[in-house]
Amino acid sequence: MTGTSNTQATLKVTTDAWEALFRAQVAVMRQITTMPEFAKLSLREYDVLFNLRHAPENETRLVDLNKHLLISQPSLSRMITRLEERGLVSRCTDPTDQRASRLKLTEAGLSMQQEIGRAHVKQLHLLLGEAMSEEEFIELQRLSTKLHNAVE
């Protein structure tokens, strides 16, 4: 059909899908960041709390957390200092590796994440709930996850 016989999707199809996904992400994020809840915490800070929330026992090493974010390691290090000062995250040396910092959501941090998370979800639902059918959302999730797994 395409003239090539390997198993790769064509350049164009791959790129078009990525650009569409990227543009959708920007558009939705633009809407979400207008929410009053994000006055309390920047998007990047929320993302840190979100990732900690989904780590086993709400705890990770700094370097592992960093792998899920777009910011640099030094930026994350300083952001954690600020979140620590605000009582949202605690930092302690890993007993099994004296180099490493173990980060953990505090009670306050957990509450904050849940509060913003709920508002976030509500807003998303309002914004997107009628955009597509239930089946389409499920398919979008499946394909996004597949893409994600491919690059990890």
Count CB atoms within 10 A of the CB of residue 45.
20
Which secondary structure element, helix H or strand E, spans residue 63, and what is its range? helix 62-66
Binding mask 99-138 for a second copy (x = CB under 8 A): ----------------------xx-xx-xxxxxxxx-xxx
Identify which range of 1-9, 63-71, 123-131, 139-147 contacts DNA by CB under 7 A. 63-71
Shortest distance, CB of residue 78 to a second copy, whole angstroms?
A: 19
Q: For the CA atoms of 90, 113, 40, 87, what is the dihedral angle to 10 degrees?
A: -20
Which among a second copy, DNA, none contacts residue 129 (Cβ within 5 to 8 A by kind)? a second copy
d(CA 89, CA 102): 10
Contact with a second copy (CB under 8 A) among 13, 63, 92, 108: 13
Q: Tell me the pairing of strands 59-61 and 89-94.
A: unpaired
> What are the residues binding DNA (CB under 7 A)?
42, 44, 61-64, 66, 70-75, 77-82, 91, 94, 97-102
